[in-house]
Amino acid sequence: MASTIKATCLTPKAGWKTCFVGQYGNFTIKDPVGKETHLNGQMTLGENLTDNGGLKKAFETWQARYKSDPSGKTIKNQRLPGLRP
């Protein structure tokens, strides 16, 4: 996913809220009748930030658990496709 985000959004001084609004504002979905609807990144900003925070925490937890027993002797860790410990 990081490859689809502008490099400027990943710097500490970047206007990360603006980056989130732009990133999520690029999504288009089809409603139940098939009409295309563009998401409003500004309207969903709070939810998007919360979702990303939860995803980050879940990844960090998986990563710590995997590193605690990389051979899988105690915990049957599974490597997830596309993720690095």
Question: Which pLDDT does position 75 carry in this prediction?
Answer: 75
DSSP assignment letter at 3:
G
Residue 64 has pLDDT above 80, yes or no: yes
Candidates 73, 80, 76, 19; CA nearest to 45 is 19
Cβ burial 44-61 (10 Å sphere, 16+ → b, else e): bbeebeeeeeeeeeeeee
How do residues 53-63 score in pLDDT, each as one tens digit? 899 999 898 88
Positive or negative, the Cα torsion across 29, 32, 36, 38? negative
Give the predicted TM-score (pTM) of the model: 0.62
pLDDT, one tens digit per residue, over 24-47 is 888 899 989 999 998 899 999 999
Separation CA 22–CA 20 (nearest Å) = 5
What's the pLDDT score for residue 69? 83
Report the percent of the chain where pLDDT is more than 70: 76
Amino acid identity for residue 82 in this structure:
G
